[in-house]
Structure 1
Amino acid sequence: MLSAAALGLCLVAAEAGAETDTSDLVSKDFFRVCADPANMPFSNQQEDGFENRIAQLFADKMGRPVQYTWFPQAVGFVRRTLAIGKCDVVIGFAQGHELVLNTNHYYTSAYAIVVPQGSEIADVDHLGDPRLQGRVLGVTAGSPPATHMARYGLIGDARGYKLMVDRRSESPAEQMLADLQAGEIEAAVLWGPLAGYYARETGAEVVVTPLLKEDGAPRLFYRITMGVRQGELSWKRELNSLIRRNQDEIDAILTEYGVPLVDEFGRAE
């Protein structure tokens, strides 16, 4: 559900300093992308997602056609795609995951709270706001905001939604927004790209506010990179160069999809 190759799996390890460069495994004929076939707004098989758009942008710059390997972003995603050489890059991967070698980040976003316009809590910007006490909040079970909600005593009244699902058959983020519109929950706490996109898609009259003021761990903002195989140092550098030279176009795509962008330190831009 979270994408950025399942955000909740990240935050461990870093690149080793003296790896052997294995970038010769990367295709010279195609821009080969590992992607989820049904995970909007990130990617889908119709290539409607913003990661699809960024992949096409890079492929155009490199003069290669895009070639996809489709697999749901769940347990085994990297092992059954990137790791065995079926594809060469995951377009969205949270910084710090040991399963891949991360490029430089190309955007930073944060979890957000989504509240109906005109609500008494429409201006809430942190989960510690006392006005949230006793209210029914939707939250992705096991996600970082749930830890903060537990700390503030909000979990007992919360409604939980699944973290890892096959998006071909379930869409918890869409369900959360539908429940918000129906009045079954009073606010939705979602990963920012999901919050921004589905708020726009549903046409709901809501306020989407990034959660940038929480104290203590875990942090609620994440730097999103591209992921390549460990050891592919030259390939990583090539992608870093593409990110640097095309950042304005990347930002425009992300903005078009409603992604809440913050700076690399989790501050509003």
Structure 2
Amino acid sequence: MARRLAFSLVAVAGLLATAPAHSQSLAQSPVQSPGIVARPQGVDDARGSIELVDPKVLRVCADPSNLPFSNRAGDGFENRLAELLAKKLGKDLAYSYYPGATGFIRNTLNAHLCDVVMGMPQGDDLVQPTNPYYRTSYAVVYRAGSDLEGLTSLADPRLAKDKRIGLVANTPPGNLLARYRLLAAVKSYPLVVDTRVDAPAADMIHDLESGAIDVAILWGPIAGYHVKKSGGGLKEALLTGDKGARMSFRIAMGVRHSDQEWKRELNRLIAQNQNEIDRLLAEFGVPLIDEADAPITPAP
């Protein structure tokens, strides 16, 4: 998917039937009814191009089944972030749903069925990114009480002793595993899937809990979400100390390249509401780090 391929830059997997109740209007999926969203008013931006951003509705592109990020029921943290932004903007909220597959950006944002993607890695050129609203890293997840207690690095010698390691294919931690000669211990899970049918991260966590694997390597928001859901049965550690492959990434919102004023407006909202955004992310277990890879504790 354009988005999932973008997230493979970060290699996250990453790497919305009923919406939340408050005056939220829902567009049909572009897969089912392309073009049903009314064309918004044009606004000239500073460079003379036209910004087709709806003045009354925050129109969001989202995957319909990709927790902890988004789903049709509005249970993900990107759903909650969209609700927050719509409230701050004084707009209604509408979604265009498209599964995490090739063509996501082309068939949603670039088809003018929506005006923003809530989570894109900074540096992806499929979209124009806003300023980042969080930074996080890949993480290791293991069972509480196992002989891997205290694991913080893929260089830990305990991993070389007959441990099975879960890894999403074609993600940056694979480079570290190759460096540490651990690829033979890897059980691979697919990166690019139709999220309506497959859930590789949930499958990996199930395998970890059942003992089929001993450690799971996941994108931080996914790892933190499942650790929090485990009620103490799982533990995590961010892979910020391993050298040799980039593990930490900034995540922004994505808009069309022509939408300069819209990007500036979203940047202002991010800056003005960063503490609230941090608290929202922490509620979902998203591990937040600063530019020095130090953990961020949201302000009360």
TM-score when normalising by structure 1: 0.91
Q: Secondary structure at the match of 1:54?
A: helix
Separation in structure 1 between the aligned mates of residue 149 and residue 234 of structure 2, nearest angstrom: 8
From 147, 166, 178, the equivalent of 1:150 is 178
**Alignment-derived partner of residue 251 in structure 1:** 278
**Alignment-derived partner of residue 239 in structure 2:** 211
From 126, 145, 150, the equivalent of 1:118 is 145
**Alignment-derived partner of residue 100 in structure 1:** 127
> What is the Cα-based RMSD across aligned positions, in Å?
1.9
Separation in structure 1 between the aligned mates of residue 7 and residue 231 of structure 2, nearest angstrom: 26
Contact 1:180 1:187 in 2 (8 A): yes
**Alignment-derived partner of residue 85 in structure 1:** 112
Separation in structure 2 between the aligned mates of residue 128 and residue 148 of structure 1, nearest angstrom: 8
Taking a change above 3 Å as real, the CA distance of residues 256 and 22 of structure 1, as seen in their structure-2 partners, is farther
- Larger RCO: Structure 1 or Structure 2 (Cα < 8 Å, ≥ 6 residues apart)? 1
From 99, 102, 108, the equivalent of 1:72 is 99
Contact 2:140 2:239 in 1 (8 A): yes
Unaligned runs of 5+ in 1: 12-18
**Alignment-derived partner of residue 7 in structure 2:** 7
Letter in 2 for 1:142: N
1:159 Cα deviation (Å)? 0.5
Q: Secondary structure at the match of 1:224?
A: strand
**Alignment-derived partner of residue 27 in structure 1:** 54
Taking a change above 3 Å as real, the CA distance of residues 143 and 21 of structure 1, as seen in their structure-2 partners, is farther
Separation in structure 1 between the aligned mates of residue 168 and residue 49 of structure 2, nearest angstrom: 38
1:141 aligns with 2:194: no
**Cα shift readout 1:102-133 (whole Å, capped 9, x = no counterpart):** 10000011110001112222211111122211
Contact 1:4 1:224 in 2 (8 A): no
1:50 aligns with 2:80: no
Q: Secondary structure at the match of 2:51?
A: helix
Equivalent residues in 2 for 1:196-207, closer than 5 Å: 196-203=224-231, 205-207=233-235
Contact 1:37 1:45 in 2 (8 A): yes
Letter in 2 for 1:145: P
TM-score when normalising by structure 2: 0.82
1:24 Cα deviation (Å)? 2.5
**Alignment-derived partner of residue 16 in structure 2:** none
1:153 Cα deviation (Å)? 0.8
**Alignment-derived partner of residue 260 in structure 1:** 287
Contact 2:120 2:129 in 1 (8 A): yes
Taking a change above 3 Å as real, the CA distance of residues 199 and 23 of structure 1, as seen in their structure-2 partners, is farther
Runs of 4+ in 1 over 6 A off after TM superposition: none
Separation in structure 1 between the aligned mates of residue 48 and residue 10 of structure 2, nearest angstrom: 24
**Alignment-derived partner of residue 14 in structure 1:** none
